[in-house]
Amino acid sequence: MKPLRFLITAGPTREFLDPIRFISNRSSGKMGYALARTARRYGKVTLVSGPVALKPPAGVTFVTVTTAQEMADAVFTRFVEADVVIMTAAVCDFRPRRVAVRKIKKDSFTGTLELVPTVDILATLGKRKSHQLLVGFAAETDALEAHALDKLRQKNLDLIVANDAGAMEADTNRVTLLYRDGRVERLPEMPKARVAQEILRRITALRT
């Protein structure tokens, strides 16, 4: 099989209120980093990562970002050259409308934080894709498969990996794979390194 060019995202984003404070999420980046390490066996890997406490995998092109817009810019500029795009990152859906230049003092805060949507990276890729195999992730707290199926359809994905949100900081994961053709595959709980192997085996099979 011809070596593949992978573009993988991992970790959270941070959306700042002021120079000190930000909103974010619990993503550890462990699943995305495991996928990047495994994908090296199949070709060239670019990993775009939000802020995490993990060492960058050896042998990959490593790009660090902080905000959703920075991640979008990094992904969009590299998308056209990718064969497989795996969007593992937990990108914040909202950001503060205004970012204060100085630290917001407690006595000056109105008690209301106005938020606006961030760019929907996955949906944009779904509209732009041509030859790329596009894989998304869905971390949910309820109705896991139903929400993942909606995301698969709405964002024009080829495959979506669904897992309970409780796995975000864990070393293991139990995932359900939902395919564009309607197949559903439920994998048992296993270490994230093993989950990455199983996911990559299926992705490469889709490319043959």
Catalytic residue IDs: 25
Whether the CB-CB separation of 27 and 168 falls below 8 Å is answered with: yes
Q: Which residues pair with 47 in a beta bridge?
A: 8, 62
Q: Which residues pair with 15 in a beta bridge?
A: 23
69-103 residues labelled b (16+ CB within 10 A) or e (exposed)? bbbbebbeebbeebbbbbbbbbbbeebbeeebeee
Q: What are phi and psi of 52, to 5 degrees?
A: -140, 165
CA–CA gap between residue 158 and residue 177 (Å, rounded): 11
CA–CA gap between residue 82 and residue 190 (Å, rounded): 28
Start-to-end C-alpha separation, the chain:
7
Q: Where are the beta strands (DSSP E) in 99-167?
A: 115-117, 133-140, 159-164
